[in-house]
């Protein structure tokens, strides 16, 4: 069965994660979706970055929440990966939506929304003009914030990230607000997928980087595979 290929933080094995360069690369490689992470800046704008601080992926130092967008934009988000990407900037979510919605699907992960009051509301407000057909989805590890997001923007599919097993009771009750589950690949089994599909969830698995893992995921029948580099997909699986 075909699955959606989802570029984890963009094509992050080939370009600096969560930058326009990694999203362009994902489009070039033919991914169906990009996955990206958002956090809230000091001036309450959604910025695309994974970590809570800028140290690992830029030439700066400090927590995102203490930077204004103007100051975040001064940072180099590409050189840490390779000099070829010097000068890449941390994108705003709005810039990504303007540039890519309609061209590639976008899965937005809210990072630590429970610690950043307003993040969920700002994201829901940003996305409320998009139709459910626009291939924009939102995911989070945080149940209550995801539930809130679904109430505020019910047309945008919401998905729960799972890094721990989920019992049947919660699997059933989370279906009220979540339409997909993004699951760490080691948690996946045929019985879990059968149960989840009975409730109507789509299942995406993360983060897959080895060919045997793609084969396992295809055998299990997941609907989406979150990967850093589609080049590692065997041709026979890539073009099902
Ligand atoms: O989509 C799954 C994955 O993005 C969750 O982990 O740390 O890469 O955001 P992380
Ligand atoms: Ca993520």
Quick check: helix, strand or coil at residue 110? strand
Ligand nearest to the CA of 205: 1
- Dump pLDDT digits (tens) for 117-144: 999 999 999 998 887 777 999 999 999 9
**HSE, side-chain direction, 13 A CA sphere, residue 49:** 30
Ligand 1 pocket, 161 CB below 6 A?
yes
What are phi and psi for residue 236, nearest 5 degrees?
-65, -25
Q: Is 226 in the pocket of ligand 1 (CB under 6 A)?
A: yes
Residue reference for tokens 């919401």: 158
- Residue 171 Cα to ligand 1 middle (Å): 20
The ipTM, to two decimals, is: 0.98
Cα dihedral 17, 20, 21, 23 in deg (nearest 10): 70
Q: How far is the CA of 153 from the centre of ligand 1 (A)?
A: 22
Q: What is the pLDDT of residues 221-238, one digit of tens each?
A: 999 999 987 655 544 444
Residue 91 CA to its chain's centroid (Å): 14
CATH number where 140 lies:
3.20.20.190
Q: What angle do the packed helices 93-100 and 119-127 form, to 10 degrees?
A: 20
Q: Is the CB of 33 under 6 A from ligand 1?
A: no
Phi-psi region of 112 (alpha: psi -120 to 50; beta: other; left: phi over 0): left
| Residue matched to tokens 């958002």 | 38
228 within ligand 1 shell (Cβ under 6 A): no
Backbone angles phi, psi at 151, to 5 degrees: -65, -35
Q: Which domain holds residue 222?
A: 4-238
Place of tokens 């939102």: 138
- Number of the ligand closest to the Cα of 204: 1
Residues of the chain with pLDDT below 50 are 234-240
pLDDT digits over 49-65, tens only? 999 999 999 999 999 99
**Number of folded domains in the chain?**
1
- How many angstroms separate the CA atoms of 124 and 37, rounded? 15
Its pTM surpasses 0.90: yes
Residues with catalytic function: 8, 50
């Amino acid at each position: 069965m075909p699955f959606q290929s989802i570029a984890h933080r963009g094509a992050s094995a080939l370009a600096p994660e969560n930058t326009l360069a990694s999203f362009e690369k994902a489009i070039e490689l033919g991914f169906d979706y990009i996955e990206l992470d958002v956090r809230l800046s000091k001036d309450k704008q959604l910025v695309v970055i994974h970590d809570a601080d800028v140290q690992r992926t830029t030439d700066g130092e400090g927590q995102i929440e203490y930077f204004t967008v103007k100051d975040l934009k001064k940072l180099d988000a590409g050189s840490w990966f390779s000099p070829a990407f010097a000068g890449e900037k941390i994108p705003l979510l709005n810039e990504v939506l303007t540039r890519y919605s309609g061209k590639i699907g976008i899965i937005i992960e809210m990072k630590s929304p429970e610690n950043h009051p307003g993040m969920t509301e700002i994201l829901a407000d940003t996305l409320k003009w998009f139709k459910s057909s626009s291939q924009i989805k939102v995911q989070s590890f945080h149940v209550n914030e995801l539930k809130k997001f679904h109430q505020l923007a019910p047309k945008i599919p919401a998905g729960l990230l799972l890094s721990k097993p989920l019992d049947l009771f919660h699997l059933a009750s989370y279906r009220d607000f979540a339409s997909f589950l993004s699951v760490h690949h080691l948690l996946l089994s045929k019985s879990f997928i059968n149960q989840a599909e009975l409730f109507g969830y789509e299942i995406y698995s993360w983060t897959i980087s080895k060919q045997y893992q793609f084969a396992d995921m295809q055998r299990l029948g997941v609907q989406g595979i979150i990967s850093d580099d589609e080049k590692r997909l065997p041709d026979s699986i890539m073009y099902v």
